[in-house]
Structure 1
Amino acid sequence: MNIKTFLKFLLKTFFIFCFTFSFITLSVYFTLLFKPLYYSDINILNIEASTNINKEELKANYDYLITYLTNNKTEEFNLPTLPSSDHGKIHFKEVKVIFDKLKVMLLFSILVSIVGILINKRQKKIRYLLTSSIVLIVLPITLLIPFLINFDRSFTIFHQIFFNNDYWLFDIATDPIITILPQDFFFHCSLLIILSISIISIVLRCIYKSQYKKQHSL
């Protein structure tokens, strides 16, 4: 393989990575912003009964959390009706930093994807759709297996990878927010992310098949 061919391979791989990464990140953001999931879990998981907090207050605190994590402002974390410890505030600030970085990476990936799509369209290449579709269907299956086997362990490993402290281990007495965000809710979030990625994979495969038939019918 000569240098020119190798560079083309690298650019192609980078484009497919950005294209696929964009959909994964969009699935994460969709889940984060899809408040009806939490609202329904209030009933499904009996959060009102387990916390002695009414539904409106639960929604108010959850809405604040989502707004805090997604807006572009830098402000101290202060829930509307629940106290937070210094460690708790630091943890959510760290979570916000992760989402802020993810947002920048998403915008960059979308830009690269648009350029890549235009180049592939000009060259009448559609293979990238199939490749991304395969990656996006393999990934959910790969994630789903450990989640179903032991979500608690998977949840712990996730935090150990992304955080260099144990501030995510909340004390109910000082950070009661942990009581309104039961682990089962995060499991449901994971399932929604996996479902979203799977749907995107199916859509991409359908587009690929449609384009393939169109090209070979000419």
Structure 2
Amino acid sequence: MNIKTFFEFSLKTFFILCFTFSFITLSVYFTLLFKPLYYMDINVLNIEDSTNLNKGELKANYDYLITYLTKNTSEEFNLPTLPSSDHGKIHFKEVKVIFDKLKVMLFFSILVSILGVLVNKRHKKIRYLLRSSIVLIIIPIMLLIPFIINFDKSFTVFHQIFFNNDYWLFDITTDPIITILPQNFFFHCSLLIIFSIIIISITLRCIYKAQYKKQHSL
């Protein structure tokens, strides 16, 4: 492989990674902002009974959490009707930092993706759609297997990777927010993210097939 070929291969790989990363990140944000999932789980997981909070209080605290994590704000974390410990506040601040960094990465990857799509369109290349579709179908399978085998362990490993402390291990007496966010809710969030990625993968494959037929019918 000469330098030119290697350079072209690297650019194509970088584009595919940014292109797929954009869709994966958008799936994460879609799930985060899709409040109906939590509203449904209030009933499905009997959260009212397990917390002794009514649906209005549960929604108010959850809505505040999502707003805090997604909005450009530097305010201190203070739930509407629930107390939070110093460690709890630090943890959610760290989570917010992660999402803020993810926003920047998403913006950059979208710019690269747009540029890559325009270049491929100019040269009438559509192979990237099929490759991206394959990558996006492999990732959910890789994620789904450990989630199904042992979600508890996967949940723990996830936090150990992204956080360098144990502040995410909440004490319900000082951080009762953990009671309104049962682990099964996070499992449902994971499934929605994976489902969204699969739908995107199928859509890209369909677009590829349509474009392929169009090119070969001329």
Which bracket does the TM-score occupy, shorter chain normalised? Answer: over 0.9
Residues 94-133 of structure 1 aligned to structure 2 (within 5 Å)? 94-133=94-133
Provide, for residues 18-74 of structure 1, a one-character-per-residue CA deviation record: whole Å limited to 9, x for no partner.
Answer: 000000000000000000000000000000000000000000000000000000111
Q: Does residue 34 in structure 1 map to residue 39 in structure 2?
A: no
Q: Residue 84 of structure 1 aligns to a residue in which SS? A: coil
Q: Scaled by the length of structure 2, what TM-score is found?
A: 0.99
Partner secondary structure for residue 124 of structure 1 = coil
Partner of 1:156: 156
**Which residue number corresponds to residue 195 of structure 1?**
195
Q: Which amino acid is the alignment partner of residue 13 of structure 1?
A: T
Per the TM alignment, residue 164 of structure 1 is displaced from its structure 2 partner at its CA by: 0.3
Q: Which whole-Å deviations, capped at 9, do the CAs of 1:102-147 have from their partners, x for residues lacking one?
A: 0000010000000000000000100000001001111111111110
Indicate whether 1:140 and 2:135 are aligned: no
d(CA) in 2 for partners of 1:187, 1:124: 41
Is the partner of 2:171 in helix, strand or coil? coil
| Amino acid in the other structure paired with 2:35 | K
Partners of 1:127 and 1:74 lie apart in 2 by: 43
Match of 1:87 in 2: 87
Q: Which residue of 1 aligns with 2:9?
A: 9
- 1:35 maps to a residue whose letter is K
Indicate the SS of the match to 1:197.
Answer: helix
Quote the sequence identity (%): 86
In structure 2, how many angstroms separate the alpha carbons of the residues matched to 1:215 and 1:28? 34
| Letter paired with 1:214 | K
Task: Tell me the residue number matched to 1:216.
Answer: 216
C-alpha RMSD of matched pairs (Å): 0.4
Q: 4+ runs of 1 displaced by more than 6 Å?
A: none
Aligned to 1:57: 57
Task: Write the deviation string for residues 140-192 of structure 1: whole angstroms up to 9, x where unpaired.
Answer: 11111110111000000000000000000000000000000000000000000
Return the TM-score normalized by structure 1. Answer: 0.99
Shift of 1:6: 1.0
The gaps in structure 1 that reach 5 residues or longer are none
Task: Give the whole-Å Cα distance in 2 for the aligned partners of 1:4 and 1:202.
Answer: 33
Provide the residue aligned with 1:19 in structure 2. Answer: 19
Letter in 2 for 1:134: I
Partner of 1:48: 48
Give the counterpart letter for 2:199 in structure 1: I
Q: CA deviation at 1:3?
A: 1.2
Structure 2 stretches lacking a partner, 5+ long:
none
